[in-house]
Chain A
């Protein structure tokens, strides 16, 4: 078979398996570099990969294409890339159980790894997925280094849950629904949630500030969260939400923590 035919046939055969032969070839290059490094570590695949990656970034920034971002420097492209995806990476790491300081380090390491990589950007979703993989690997490495276990043992399920959250829009739809549902919560519930999740205030402090018992705060949080989840999942049309959690679409929960009208 003529080699020139290989890329399309490879694509054809793999449905959405491989997005492009170039990715394969470059991955192979990286592999070969790894198994038979012809030059010292300082110039190994990371450097080559990074060069390609930045070239790609430059391309996507419009450099060389006469676009408006033509004069955008590589550094600016990097910053733009990071800003585009940093929230997704950070929240994903938090979701996986990374703590505050870890998150800051890991996010940076993730992007640096990404910049060094041979990853071929296809679209935002695939980039996010790749970044998640890198972030997860870095986090697992951290856990291994510390001799501890990640909170989530089933990483596949965790990944699935996160993909569901992010969907195609990076979680925007979920968060929009959540905000709408928040507005339907009673004021005291909103206040408690803002303190708890917005400002990371300990329950005891919340209780003291609001003149409530800690158990009462906990109860509000639990109930509000349940209502929010029902509301969000209903809005997003997640089928098992209505079935599993008792909330029929359109009917709304009957509890007093959340009002359907607001959600």
Chain B
């Protein structure tokens, strides 16, 4: 029999009901407001939907080509039908690795486009909708951009008239894409982008003097005045500094270039200084790195700095210097997230692989992996969009000690966690590694939008991990399922643990099919714990087939029970697991 609820709760119910029955004013009606918000949300989604591959006879392809050798990107606008084609562009630009996205085209010229300059391979994003509009962050969110400069320009709506053109938020673009580069936003222009324009696109970041936003004229001047062979300075590896600066400024490891071509390169790295190629010492105030980072984020001008391009002449000597610099920095911090080549990351770490590496970025860490995770967590919290989820998961998997490799166990709880954890406590306690893992895996297997909450999700995990329970984090599947379901539940996006349950069932069936009933049973346990942690009443209040199988379809339960309870005399999955684990 269900126990009677607490007296106070019935009192509270009565009060609420009284307020409803006696209310002197009409109850609020949210219908119109909800509808309005819903419709606006849908419009927004529709507006920011990814471009379809084909939008009509007139099509623009904005091509970004990145040559791994020269690390050059040229963004090219290609018109079809009397205009240069993809083939033309490819021929003109050489046999460089090319990744490009086709775009639709507005009725006028080039309404919008984003070209990316990655250091390794280029990814172009161009989103030219049927209706002229600016490029939205969501347009590029789907495109994986390599580290590099991001050139965004908008020419939209000039002839069409509406909507009024506006500048792309270049800094937000950078943040959204995780690009190491700097977004260059160009305002409205009467002229469509031409091949010549595109060919002249510089890989460096060009920025005119004066306050943001940039105008087309700024870019044109930059393109005109900049040295034509500037790309050569990138060399292999194309170590690009913006991310470096924003994440971990390595003072001195910069090359400055003005659009006038007055190169300020690095001959040697001196903290607090950069040295131009003429030997002129350019003081770099310690605070400037921070300021520079801020500038890169916001595109706000730095007083006294007219033009900024960030390139890295990738000379061996510089690499050596960089390695030394990295080592120096690692001396007083556990990890660095830096845009370096894999080779350099290896050198810095001096043994094995860098903690993780992707593209031209690496997390270089000391052997203290837990500390590295903590650092990564902080970075991730600061700028989750910068992180590559798979790489993060790899980081977690590498950094955390394996518990039982054959079971794909990710984490070993370092110590029993107190069973009584206030679910509403603003701060949590528990092993850092757990929190980090949860956060990282949530990000890695979940959705970036939810990343900010991932740390909070460690709390129910702690709640679960009381010593006499099976513990939730015994399998990667259960962990991921739990986190994902918790996240989704918190967002109210789905039936709270439906996803976890369904995922686990799927996995269990898969394991059963593969003849791994032990592993299947291992996954079964945490599910109801997860449900409890989420504060959910089970669907079935009278579990059948053992407590841990109550949530499973009959089919799965039967198959699992056939293994764990062949005698059919009442399975106890917990007991069985205990035995089996021993």
Q: How far is the CB of A181 from chain B (nearest CB, A)?
A: 10
Query: What 0/1 readout, one digit per residue, does chain A (3-23) give for beta carbons within 8 Å of chain B?
Result: 000100110111111100001
Q: How far is the CB of B237 from chain A (nearest CB, A)?
A: 29
User: Which of A60-68, A190-198, A212-220, A252-260 lies at the interface?
Assistant: A190-198
Q: Does B99 contact A (CB under 8 A)?
A: no
Residues of B within 8 A of A24 (CB): 498, 501-502, 505, 553
Contact B484 A35 (CB under 8 A): yes
Residues of B within 8 A of A10 (CB): 553-555
Query: What 0/1 readout, one digit per residue, does chain A (101-126) give for beta carbons within 8 Å of chain B?
Result: 00010011111111111110000000
Tally of A-B residue pairs with Cβ under 8 A? 284
Q: Does B268 contact A (CB under 8 A)?
A: no
Contact B424 A144 (CB under 8 A): yes
Q: How far is the CB of A148 from chain B (nearest CB, A)?
A: 8
Contact B484 A31 (CB under 8 A): yes
Query: What 0/1 readout, one digit per residue, does chain B (1-35) give for beta carbons within 8 Å of chain A?
Result: 01011110111111111111111100111111111
Q: Does B368 contact A (CB under 8 A)?
A: no
Q: Does B547 contact A (CB under 8 A)?
A: no
From 29 to 79 in chain B, residues with beta carbon under 8 angstroms from any chain A beta carbon are: 29-35, 37-39, 41-42, 44-45, 48-50
Given the interface pairs A79-B35, A94-B19, A149-B424, the reply to whether A46 lies near B493 with Cβ below 8 Å is yes
Q: Does B131 contact A (CB under 8 A)?
A: no
Contact A27 B141 (CB under 8 A): no
Contact A9 B141 (CB under 8 A): no
Residues of A within 8 A of B551 (CB): 17
Contact B37 A45 (CB under 8 A): no
Q: How far is the CB of B276 from chain A (nearest CB, A)?
A: 42
Given the interface pairs A30-B493, A41-B138, A110-B492, the reply to whether A165 lies near B17 with Cβ below 8 Å is yes
Contact A117 B494 (CB under 8 A): yes
Residues of B within 8 A of A1 (CB): 555
Given the interface pairs A15-B540, A147-B426, the reply to whether A41 lies near B499 with Cβ below 8 Å is no
Interface size on B, residues (CB 8 A): 92
User: Which of B83-91, B164-172, B444-452 lies at the interface?
Assistant: B444-452
User: Which of B203-211, B280-288, B294-302, B531-539 lies at the interface?
Assistant: B531-539
Residues of A within 8 A of B456 (CB): 144
Given the interface pairs A12-B554, A35-B445, A175-B21, the reply to whether A30 lies near B498 with Cβ below 8 Å is yes
Q: How far is the CB of B25 from chain A (nearest CB, A)?
A: 8
From 529 to 580 in chain B, residues with beta carbon under 8 angstroms from any chain A beta carbon are: 535-540, 542, 544, 550-555, 557-558
List the A residue with the shortest CB-CB distance to B138.
A42
Bound complex: CA of A148 vs CA of B423, how far in Å?
11
List the A residue with the shortest CB-CB distance to B536.
A133
Bound complex: CA of A110 vs CA of B499, how far in Å?
19
Main secondary structure of the interface of A (DSSP, over half): helix
Residues of A within 8 A of B499 (CB): 27-28, 30-31, 34
Given the interface pairs A43-B49, A108-B30, A118-B495, the reply to whether A34 lies near B487 with Cβ below 8 Å is yes
From 435 to 449 in chain B, residues with beta carbon under 8 angstroms from any chain A beta carbon are: 445-449
List the A residue with the shortest CB-CB distance to B1.
A239
Bound complex: CA of A94 vs CA of B505, how far in Å?
37
Q: Does B142 contact A (CB under 8 A)?
A: yes
Q: Does B264 contact A (CB under 8 A)?
A: no
Residues of A within 8 A of B2 (CB): 160
Bound complex: CA of A175 vs CA of B424, how far in Å?
32
Contact A86 B16 (CB under 8 A): no
* Contact of A119 (CB < 8 Å), options: B5, B142, B495, B555: B495
List the A residue with the shortest CB-CB distance to B19.
A197
14 contacts between A and B (CB under 8 A): A28-B503, A30-B498, A34-B445, A34-B499, A35-B503, A37-B447, A41-B449, A95-B16, A150-B424, A156-B537, A193-B22, A194-B24, A197-B18, A197-B23
In the A-B complex, the 7 residue pairs with the closest CB atoms: A13-B554, A31-B499, A27-B498, A113-B492, A198-B22, A28-B502, A134-B492
Sample of 13 further A-B pairs with CB below 8 A, known A117-B492, A165-B17: A17-B550, A27-B502, A31-B502, A36-B445, A37-B448, A40-B142, A86-B31, A110-B492, A134-B492, A144-B426, A178-B21, A197-B19, A200-B19
List the interface of chain B (C-beta within 8 A of A).
2, 4-7, 9-24, 27-35, 37-39, 41-42, 44-45, 48-50, 138, 141-142, 422, 424-426, 445-450, 456, 480-481, 484-485, 487-496, 498-503, 505-506, 535-540, 542, 544, 550-555, 557-558
